[in-house]
Amino acid sequence: MISPTSDGPIVVTGGAGFIGCNIADRVAAQGSEVIVFDALARPGVERNLNWLVSRHGDRIRPVIADVRDEEALNSAVCGASAVFHMAAQVAVTTSLLDPLDDFSVNLLGSLNVLEAVRRGGSVAPVVFASTNKVYGSLADISLEIVDDAYAPKEASVRARGVDETRPLDFHTPYGCSKGAADQYVLDYARSFGLRTCVLRMSCIYGPRQMGSEDQGWVAHFLIRALEGRPISIYGDGKQVRDVLHVSDAVDAYLAALRNIDRVSGRPFNLGGGPANAVSLRQVLAYIETLTGRALELDFDDWREGDQRYFVADARRLRAALDLPLPIGWREGVADLCDWLRTERGLAGPRALAKAAAG
């Protein structure tokens, strides 16, 4: 169970987005009322909101508004038992095109959430979705290529990944806005006594993800493959991420809320860890197995701020919240593939997902 701190609704900013709607679905399924606070700015997310309402009826209270709208936010947060702050401008590329908009959504919007809780006299905990981009490019980590993937030369980093003692190093406007918001969330616990927690996410994927070239690359690759369209790769495709299925991410967010007094004021890495560290090329090869189609790939220059390697050392989070080991990436990608076929009515040879996952 969620164990919120009062009988009020739980607010999910960005609640129609990919991770937000999965959190809202789980919370509503456990019997709580959920305020889905979302501007519906990203194409396609209204389908997630309609899905939530169809599944949970009056337990879902949509508020169509932007986190920069202080009045709407104050009203939504008033009386809330908890806030999951997921609303964000999510793409590095977009932040480079419009840094001011990125700043106002990610930093000013986050400060508005914190102030809505603080000035409203609320005891609602705030759990914030941060990013691995707070650690910068990680260019000082010496890498080598192993099996079509970058791997750290240092054995301890290869075995465990990057932990929370890593110095923060904000790159790109997106890294700056999310990183500054990350620090504000932590400081509001220190300065004002709010119960806050920061989860620095690696690559989350799974059902209800509207993947695009700029964000949600696992879903994007699958959509393009199922539609028989070419896939653009920026860099050499050997860059590595520790992918995490959204069901495991939701487990972590809800556990953070249940244990907020234990984790308040602390940042945690959230990712699949070394067992789910995989390169773009390795995922693409597996997608070919799932879809039964050879993929057409186009290669282009590296994009600004792209990390050649990021794997989260998430042991601190698992220990603090007693989380189980995450779903294996092959099983998870197969699950997303099946969902996309159903959701989008995509044709093509059906994957032997379970066999391939094994």
Residue 357 above 80 pLDDT?
A: no
> According to the model, what pLDDT value does residue 351 have?
40
Q: What is the CA radius of gyration of the chain?
A: 20
The distance in angstroms from the start CA to the end CA of the chain is 32
Domains of the chain: 10-357 (3.40.50.720)
> According to the model, what pLDDT value does residue 353 have?
42
Taking the C-alpha atoms of residue 192 and residue 190, their distance in angstroms, rounded to an integer, is: 6
Report the range of poorest mean pLDDT among 82-86, 179-183, 216-220.
216-220
pLDDT, mean of residues 292-307: 90
Taking the C-alpha atoms of residue 82 and residue 109, their distance in angstroms, rounded to an integer, is: 17
- Per residue in 302-326, pLDDT (tens digit) is 988 789 999 999 999 999 999 999 9
Cα dihedral sign, 328-219-162-111? negative
Cβ–Cβ < 8 Å for 309, 178: no
Relative orientation angle of helices 70-77 and 109-119, to the nearest 10 degrees: 50
Taking the C-alpha atoms of residue 251 and residue 239, their distance in angstroms, rounded to an integer, is: 27
Taking the C-alpha atoms of residue 266 and residue 311, their distance in angstroms, rounded to an integer, is: 19
Report the chain's mean pLDDT, rounded to a whole number.
93
- Per residue in 5-34, pLDDT (tens digit) is 568 999 999 999 999 999 999 999 999 999
Residue 60, beta-bridge partner list: 34
Q: How far is CA 216 from CA 18, 158, 211, 234, in A?
A: 9, 24, 4, 14
Cβ–Cβ < 8 Å for 285, 225: no
Neighbours of 121 (CB within 10 A): 7
Q: Strand 231-234 and strand 143-145: pairing?
A: unpaired
Neighbours of 91 (CB within 10 A): 17
Q: What is the pTM of this model?
A: 0.94
> Residue 316: what residue type?
R
Beta strands in the chain (DSSP E): 10-13, 34-38, 60-64, 82-85, 126-131, 143-145, 150-152, 196-201, 203-205, 231-234, 240-245, 266-270, 277-279, 297-300, 309-310
Residue with tokens 């990183």: 179
- Per residue in 226-272, pLDDT (tens digit) is 999 999 999 999 999 999 999 999 999 999 999 999 999 999 999 99
Active-site residue list? 174
Residue 203, beta-bridge partner list: 243
Backbone phi, then psi, for 270, in 5-degree steps? -130, 110
Q: How far is CA 220 from CA 114, 283, 285, 302, in A?
A: 33, 12, 15, 18
